[in-house]
Amino acid sequence: MKEKLVVVGNGMAGIRTVEELFERGGHERYEVTVVGEEPHVNYNRILLSSVLASEANMEDIELNSLDWYRENDVTLYRSEKVTKLDRKKKVVLTDKGQKIAYDKVILATGSHPFMLPLPGSDLEGVIAFRNIEDCETMIETAKNYKKAVVIGGGLLGIEAARGLLNLGMEVEVVHIFDYLMERQLDRTAANILRTELENQGMKFLLEKHTEAIIGKGRVERVKFKDGTETRADLVVMAVGIRPNHEVASASGIEVNRGIVVDDYMQTSDPDVYAVGECAEHRGMVYGLVAPLWEQGKILANALMDNKDEKYEGSVLYSKLKVSGVQVFSVGEFQEQDDAKSVSMLDEFAGIYKKIVTRGDKIVGSILVGDTSESTILLNQIIKGVPFEGSPMQLLRSHVGSADDGVSAVSMLSNEDQVCGCNGVSKGAIIDAIKTQGCASVADVGACTTAGRSCGTCKPMIADLLAEELGETANEKETMCGCTDLSHEEVVAAIREKGLTHTREVMNVLGWKEEHGCSKCRPAINYYLAMVHPLEHEDERESRFVNERLHANIQKDGTYSVVPRMYGGVTNPDELRRIADVAEKFNVPLLKITGGQRIDLLGVKKEDVPSVWKELDMPSGYAYGKALRTVKTCVGEDFCRFGTQDSIGLGIAIEKKFERLNTPHKVKMAVSACPRNCAESGIKDVGIVGVEGAWEIYVGGNGGASLRLGDLMCRVKTSEEVLEIIGAFLQLYREEARYLERTSHWVERVGLDYIKETLLEHPENRKVLNERMDEALSVLTDPWEEINNDPSLKETLFEEKVAVVTSE
């Protein structure tokens, strides 16, 4: 009978430990249950700044999909908090009243962001920067407010400030020291970084001690101890983290700063272990990813009764890109005692390099602007290898010209680490290339985990691929790690081979993972429906959960429901129904959306089908990869400036293309005059009325990465508008990659190509619209289908994976 292992925390450290355990045969020994407070699967917190900068979304930073839990027989409880361990009865207690039996427990509870105990810290608009919800709050705030103040000039604070700049906010960074990132940089390096950040638009208030946050309900100002103030619509505290040892404390387990552990990550209770930011080992608490991975390996060994290797602490280092500036810092970077340093500075190029030595060994280094030698220096410090020659020769050897013809990776031994975060050596990567057929950076990551954390080692992985494979190295953008094929190659194969089902695609095209993953399955399902609209039966289990439910999961595990209001127009009957439903199901919040609709927020999962049935309104597809809204102004009938019937055209467009599946969400707008009150210039498709004509804009984006739409053409009639945008949408459906917005697709293929295809060849428009009509002909309202066949409700809500969810 398997032992019961409960992991408290669904974050990076805990799940990585489980992965290490499974690699050592832990499947056979343990029945694993994971309990996590957040509603999400395990994701990469290191890349939160990428989400804030709109360089990635939630799906991009997921580390383990729901399929991973299913395939490994891991029971997952999300949106649930462990409150205590009953160590006598050996059960884990949760805030949902569950009692989960255990033989062993891993506490991987992470840390809490430290919030300064200032007057006003509880005001609306004062937040931390710690999880995906914080990113979402900042993104939403930037839509309505202009001035942000970030308290904390460390790495996290600067990343938050950079993201807020990208969102169009004015940003000031407050720091109590007189230079930035004092834990990773010396003054010279920090000044180079500060100059670059100021050139990007960031402002700094150094040597400032915050005294209070002032406002009435919402933050308005930040006051400092020197009596000065600065205006603020948003305050982000990024001043550090504290180990989360609440469960251990409540359970009588020894804690200090963190949960006290020995060299095998064992706590004062022999059946309870701790790993990650919550653990304190030999008086140290680690907040960087590499030490957490090292701890996970030791703990996995211990759980398999292998105690040959101890955890003896980690060399602290940071290798990252701070707002576009490459930065590396390791070990002792300040000269002290008998340490000496040698450095070089090129202020014109923004490059600074410094090596610190003690005796005949390197003990620390800082690289700014060019970090190509970082891996060599890190491995030399970890190994404690003596250097030869004078310090100046050492500097020239390791910090020489980057164009000397010798790549940094070629200077590493097979034992040297390429991926410090995940502890993957050069030899392990070469072995994966030679024996497992890895031909791309993504392949190497899937086989070895190299590059899956901060990603700064990916250029070195690419260099290794080039060295080992030469011109056969595959750097194309594959659909995911399950295949070597690109999106375009998969679509071509579906057409050429007549493939009609997801499993058939995977089998015929040689998928590496039998069941695929959360990236490729939805993409394949979309491509099959696009290529074979009349034959393909939509696979609900291959859609994201929000699309299956036509409701968007919220941070507390409830759902948001948005009924469609064509062109933003409603009537008293619809409003009464919405009000009645909100009262009947105790909906806590009704919110007017930016798409001119009403959002019912806080609907319980079990109530979603009944809410839709009683609303008796079409789904607004506010969560789908489909047409979401057609925003309109009031138009010529009411507005004294209006030149066209914007409402009539907007409703016609929305009724024609509603429910249409597209590679990504599509938003449209129709404005009756160039004053553009419906914001047509920043939509995927925007129509603007001018005297006697309509202008059609494409590829706009009003999100964090603002992009103005390109003027594609001008036409005279509403019929021509429908013809042009029908052809445009079908071309986008057929040629864009799944999850590629029109803004990115237009930039990738070029506006000239789209114009030539659609405008210079009328026969193309005709054929594309015929295929569009074919695709539209099979679309039905999913809630009508479900209400007519109640048995489908079970199918809709079935997760299709062996995962227990408690939202």
- Among 197-206, 253-262, 367-376, 671-680, the range with the most confident prediction by mean pLDDT is 253-262
Instruction: For residues 76 and 32, give the distance between their C-alpha atoms in angstroms, rounded to a whole number.
Output: 9
What is the total residue count of the chain? Answer: 807
Give ranges for CATH 3.30.413.10 in the chain.
626-780
**Does the annotation list 677 as a binding residue?**
yes
Across 399-420, average pLDDT: 63
Q: For domain 126-239, give its CATH number from 3.50.50.60, 3.40.50.720, 3.30.479.10, 3.40.50.2300.
A: 3.50.50.60
- How far is the C-alpha of 149 from the C-alpha of 135, rounded, in Å? 15
**Which tokens sit at 67?**
């399929």
If one compares 433 and 791, the residue with the highest pLDDT of the two is 433
- Residues 43-62 have pLDDT tens digits of 888 788 777 766 677 777 88
Res. 125: pLDDT tops 80: yes
Under DSSP, is residue 517 helix (H, G, I), strand (E, B) or coil? coil
Q: Is 454 labelled as part of a ligand binding site?
A: no
The model's confidence at residue 791, banded by pLDDT at 50, 70 and 90, is very low
**pLDDT over 50 (residue 202):** yes
Q: Are strands 693-698 and 710-715 parallel, antiparallel or unpaired?
A: antiparallel
Band of the pLDDT at 80, cuts 50, 70, 90? very high
Please determine, for residue 474, whether its predicted confidence score (pLDDT) is greater than 70. no
Tell which phi-psi region holds residue 758, choosing left (phi > 0), alpha (psi between -120 and 50) or beta: alpha
Q: Other C-beta atoms within 10 Å of 676: how many?
A: 17
Which fold does the domain 317-404 belong to in CATH? Enolase-like; domain 1 (3.30.390)
- CATH 3.50.50.60 in the chain is located at 3-112+243-303, 126-239
Question: What are the tens digits of pLDDT across the range 498-521?
Answer: 999 998 999 999 888 777 877 788
Check: CB of residue 259 under 8 Å from CB of residue 245: yes
pLDDT tens for 701-712 read: 886 567 889 999
The number of beta carbons lying within 10 Å of the beta carbon of residue 774 is: 12
- Paired with 229 in beta bridges are 223
**459 confidence band (pLDDT: 50, 70, 90):** confident
- Residue 167 CA to residue 135 CA, distance in Å, equals 11
CATH 3.30.479.10 given to domain 626-780: no
Residue 324: per-residue pLDDT: 66
CB 43 within 8 A of CB 134: no
pLDDT of residue 804: 36
Q: Is 124 within 8 Å of 217 (Cβ atoms)?
A: yes
Please return the burial class of 791, using the count of CB atoms within 10 Å of its CB with bins 0-12, 13-18 and 19+. exposed
> Which of residues 324 and 498 earns the better pLDDT score?
498
**CATH architecture for the domain at 418-472:** Orthogonal Bundle (1.10)
pLDDT for 604-661, tens place per residue?
988 988 999 999 999 888 888 899 999 999 988 888 787 788 999 999 999 999 999 9
Tokens of 326: 């490459």
Tell me the three state secondary structure of residue 485: coil
Which amino acid, residue 736?
A: A
* Annotated binding residue 639: yes
- For CATH 3.30.390.30, the residue range(s) in the chain are 317-404
So what's the pLDDT on residue 719? 95
Confidence (pLDDT) at 539? 81
Distance CA 755, CA 745 (A): 14
Instruction: Centre a 10 Å sphere on the Cβ of residue 501 and count the other Cβ atoms it contains.
Output: 16
Long-range contacts of 717-724 (CB under 8 A, 24+ apart): 718/645, 718/648, 718/649, 718/652, 718/694, 720/694, 721/649, 721/653, 721/687, 721/694, 721/696, 722/652, 722/653, 722/656, 723/765, 723/769, 724/696, 724/758, 724/765
Q: What pLDDT digit, counting tens, does each position of 276-312 carry?
A: 999 999 999 998 788 898 999 999 999 999 999 999 9
Instruction: Check whether 774 has a pLDDT greater than 50.
Output: yes
pLDDT tens track for 712-745: 999 999 999 999 999 999 999 999 999 889 998 9
Q: Which residue has the tokens 């208030």?
A: 205
Tens of pLDDT, residue by residue over 227-265, are: 999 999 999 999 989 999 999 999 999 999 999 999 999
In the predicted model, what is the mean pLDDT of residues 570-576? Answer: 95
Q: Which of 483-497, 547-561, 589-603, 636-650 has the lowest mean pLDDT?
A: 547-561
CATH architecture assignment, domain 3-112+243-303: 3-Layer(bba) Sandwich (3.50)
Helix crossing, 742-749 with 718-735: angle to 10°? 80
Angle at the Cα of 270 from the Cα atoms of 264 and 271, rounded to 5 degrees: 100
673 known ligand binder: yes
Query: What value does the mean pLDDT of the chain take?
Result: 86
Query: Which pLDDT belongs to residue 268?
Result: 97
Looking at residue 55, its pLDDT comes to: 66
Q: Residue 92: which of 76, 105, 79 has the closest Cα?
A: 105
Contact 316, 364 (CB under 8 A): no
DSSP 3-state of 537: coil
Which conformational region is residue 621 in: left (phi greater than 0), alpha (psi within -120 to 50 degrees), or beta? left
Task: Taking the CA atoms of 660, 661, 663 and 664 in sequence, report the sign of the dihedral they define.
Answer: positive
Question: SS3 string of 665-719?
Answer: CEEEEEECCCCCCCCHHHCCEEEEEECCEEEEEECCECCCCCECCEEEEEECCHH
- Tokens 């839709």, residue located: 612
Distance from C-alpha of 716 to C-alpha of 511, rounded to nearest angstrom = 49
